[in-house]
């Protein structure tokens, strides 16, 4: 039998036709014929036979038997309960982590003008950088000192007196869209702005919208009553007793228009009528022009003169009809990013300058500490500062020690100028140092001359204080005064960040002070992060409840643990 099968298989191998017929009859094989070619070119693939048994799963009745089985029912419930408990455990753990884990301290949304010190340059006397050496400060002089300013810790440069004017009178502007020829060209200025912008640095400029030169095109047209310019200036049919700052009459008669015009600042200027929409529109165009080429903001000068009593009633000697008139606030509302400067005795103007919920105001107001001098006591300085600090709880202040219009802080504080630097850098607000204050420059000589005569210690202290401003508590922390008879003490603390305490000996002799139970301390020990007279004390950890020695005129800044 085996032999016969072997013979049969051999015959099939020799007879392709017979093999092909057998493959057709075999349901375990599938044959693919290649385009009708010979049998030799076809392919046979084996497939499962339908007669072979296969698993098709449990039937419905069988599944129901297992589903209703008590063992499997209990098992399903146990697994479900374990899943729910596990999920609840993870949820509770997540909530506990969220509640108990230390949170990141909140930070206010501070803009560049909140965080960056602005170095005020009075361009006409800053530095003559031109080849002609005409004795006037210019843009080239600013460019030469640009790195010097940055190294002091001031990213922003604030330029005063750059517009084209009549002579040396900064208020007598002939063209708000042209630079003083002695300062430089507009193309050079644009290049300067672009170069600073690449370094993420800003430039702000002075802008006095109150008056122009009588040679300004607007005044020339207004005095002729040309259409559109009739009300550009303050005109009246008769004068009254209003005075300029120098005590002379604030009115002059114009023979062309045959009316009087107002000039509160000087005889060769004329006051603009800022109640006129046409005037405000022109001023806005001017400011948009400067921001368009790269200027980041403006210091609005002469804000006290913006408006006056439109009924022209006589003044009673207080200048209330022409200075800080209530309508000034309405003028401020149309201006773009701006700040202004006020003297120490102008705190009653803050509400008007900062605006209200319904009316826009200045982005910040800078206080010029022009009465800060070496005769001031700790209590006297605290009394001077505290009303402004209290009023700035939801507002932003700036701090100036000098300006083009007051005596320099170096002249007033002399060898105690670091006291002024500390107040400017560490009080809540923006530091606005006037050029030369970093070396205690006095009235008179130029910056270059005094830089060559000054040592580096004072400038180093100034730079250290400016660098301290970057710490969160000193940038936006709450302020508390704890002044004693001779010691001016205040703390700065932002929740979640390291507190700081500033101690200044305003007395005439050294003292030792224990801060036990003092509200300004943030712990029993603190690190010395600034010492005005002894760098060896830097980074030392001191016990503030023990007697801390502080020399006359010294400034000490302490940092506590968060």
Instruction: Say if residue 434 is in the same domain as residue 505.
Output: no
Coil, strand or helix at 139: helix
Beta bridge pairs of residue 513: 548
Each of the 562 residues of the chain gets a pLDDT tens digit; together they read: 445 454 454 444 455 555 545 555 555 555 555 555 555 555 555 555 555 555 566 777 777 777 778 887 888 888 999 999 999 999 999 998 888 877 777 888 999 999 999 999 999 889 888 877 788 889 999 999 999 999 999 999 999 989 999 988 999 999 999 999 999 999 999 999 999 999 999 999 999 999 999 999 999 999 999 999 999 999 999 999 999 989 999 999 999 999 999 999 999 999 999 999 999 999 999 999 999 999 999 999 999 999 999 999 999 988 999 999 988 877 877 766 688 888 877 888 888 888 887 778 888 999 999 999 999 999 999 999 999 999 887 889 999 999 988 999 999 999 999 999 999 999 999 999 999 999 999 887 666 656 655 556 899 999 999 999 999 999 999 999 999 989 999 999 999 999 999 999 999 999 999 998 888 988 999 999 999 998 888 999 999 999 999 999 999 999 999 8
Report if residue 424 sits inside a domain.
yes
Neighbours of 326 (CB within 10 A): 10
Tokens read off for 59: 């039937």
Instruction: Say if residue 452 is in the same domain as residue 361.
Output: yes
- 460-504 confidence digits (pLDDT tens): 999 999 999 999 999 999 999 999 989 999 999 999 999 999 999
Instruction: Say if residue 343 is in the same domain as residue 416.
Output: yes
Distance (Å, rounded) from C-alpha 47 to C-alpha 363? Answer: 86
Report if residue 399 sits inside a domain.
yes
Is 0.85 surpassed by the pTM of this model? Answer: no
Number of domains in the chain: 3
Coil, strand or helix at 381: helix
Phi-psi region of 553 (alpha: psi -120 to 50; beta: other; left: phi over 0): left
Coil, strand or helix at 562: coil
Residue showing tokens 């826009």: 360
Report if residue 442 sits inside a domain.
yes
Instruction: Say if residue 166 is in the same domain as residue 294.
Output: yes
- 107-165 confidence digits (pLDDT tens): 889 999 999 999 999 998 898 888 777 888 899 999 999 999 999 999 999 999 899 99
Residue showing tokens 């094989």: 29
Alpha-carbon radius of gyration of the chain: 42
Burial 356-384 (b: 16+ CB within 10 A, else e): eeeebbbbbbbbbbbebeeebebbebbeb
Distance (Å, rounded) from C-alpha 196 to C-alpha 190? Answer: 10
Report if residue 38 sits inside a domain.
no
Report if residue 191 sits inside a domain.
yes
Beta bridge pairs of residue 119: 157
With 0-12 CB in 10 A as exposed, 13-18 as middle and 19+ as buried, what is 252? middle
Whole domain around residue 528: which residue ranges? 487-560
Report if residue 43 sits inside a domain.
no
Instruction: Say if residue 357 is in the same domain as residue 415.
Output: yes
Tokens read off for 202: 């800003």
Q: Last residue of a domain, which of 428, 444, 470?
A: 470
Instruction: Say if residue 339 is in the same domain as residue 449.
Output: yes
Instruction: Say if residue 535 is in the same domain as residue 426.
Output: no
């Amino acid at each position: 039998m085996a032999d016969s099968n072997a013979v049969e298989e051999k015959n099939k191998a020799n007879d392709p036709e017979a093999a092909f017929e057998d493959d057709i009859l075999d349901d375990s094989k599938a044959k693919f014929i290649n385009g009708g070619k010979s049998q030799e070119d076809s392919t046979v693939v084996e497939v499962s036979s339908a007669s072979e048994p296969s698993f098709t799963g449990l039937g419905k009745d069988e599944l129901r038997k297992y589903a209703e089985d008590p063992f499997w029912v209990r098992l399903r419930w146990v697994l479900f309960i374990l899943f729910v408990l596990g999920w609840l455990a993870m949820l509770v753990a997540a909530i506990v982590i969220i509640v108990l884990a230390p949170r990141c301290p909140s930070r206010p949304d501070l803009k560049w003008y909140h965080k960056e010190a602005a170095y005020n340059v009075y361009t006409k006397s800053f530095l003559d950088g031109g080849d002609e050496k005409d004795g006037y400060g210019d843009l080239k002089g600013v460019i030469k000192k640009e790195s010097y300013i940055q190294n002091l810790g001031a990213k922003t440069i604030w330029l005063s007196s750059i517009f084209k004017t009549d002579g040396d009178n900064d208020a007598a502007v002939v063209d708000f869209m042209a630079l003083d020829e002695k300062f430089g060209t507009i193309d050079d200025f644009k290049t300067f702005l672009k170069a600073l912008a690449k370094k993420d640095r800003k430039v702000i400029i002075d802008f006095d919208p109150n008056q122009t030169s009588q040679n300004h095109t607007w005044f020339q047209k207004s005095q002729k009553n040309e259409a559109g310019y009739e009300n550009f200036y303050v005109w009246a049919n008769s004068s009254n007793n209003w005075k300029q700052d120098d005590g002379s009459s604030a009115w002059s008669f114009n023979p062309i228009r045959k009316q009087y015009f107002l000039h509160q600042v000087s005889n060769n200027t004329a006051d603009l009528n800022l109640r006129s929409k046409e005037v405000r529109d022109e001023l806005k165009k001017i400011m948009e022009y400067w921001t368009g080429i790269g200027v980041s903001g403006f210091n609005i000068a002469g804000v006290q003169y913006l408006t006056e009593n439109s009924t022209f009633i006589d003044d009673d000697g207080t200048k209330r009809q022409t200075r800080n008139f209530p309508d000034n606030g309405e003028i401020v509302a149309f201006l773009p990013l701006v700040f202004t400067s006020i003297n120490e005795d102008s705190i009653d103007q803050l509400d008007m300058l900062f605006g209200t919920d319904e009316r826009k105001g200045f982005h910040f107001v800078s206080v010029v500490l022009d009465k800060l001098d070496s005769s001031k006591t700790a209590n006297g300085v605290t009394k001077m500062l505290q009303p402004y600090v209290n009023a700035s709880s939801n507002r932003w202040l700036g701090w100036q020690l000098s300006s083009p219009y007051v005596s320099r802080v170096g002249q007033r504080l002399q060898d105690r100028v670091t006291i002024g630097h500390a107040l400017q850098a560490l009080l809540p607000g923006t530091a606005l140092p006037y050029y030369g204050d970093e070396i205690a420059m006095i009235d008179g000589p130029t910056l270059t001359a005094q830089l060559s005569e000054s040592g580096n210690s004072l400038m180093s202290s100034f730079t250290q204080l400016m660098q301290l401003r970057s710490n969160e508590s000193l940038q936006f922390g709450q302020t508390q005064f704890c002044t004693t008879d001779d010691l001016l003490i205040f703390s700065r603390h932002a929740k979640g960040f390291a507190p700081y305490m500033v101690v200044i000996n305003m007395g005439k002799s050294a003292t030792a002070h224990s801060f036990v139970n003092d509200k300004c301390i943030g712990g029993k020990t603190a690190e010395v992060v600034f010492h005005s007279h002894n760098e060896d004390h830097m980074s030392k950890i001191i016990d503030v409840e023990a007697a801390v020695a502080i020399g006359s005129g010294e400034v000490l800044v302490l940092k506590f643990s968060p």
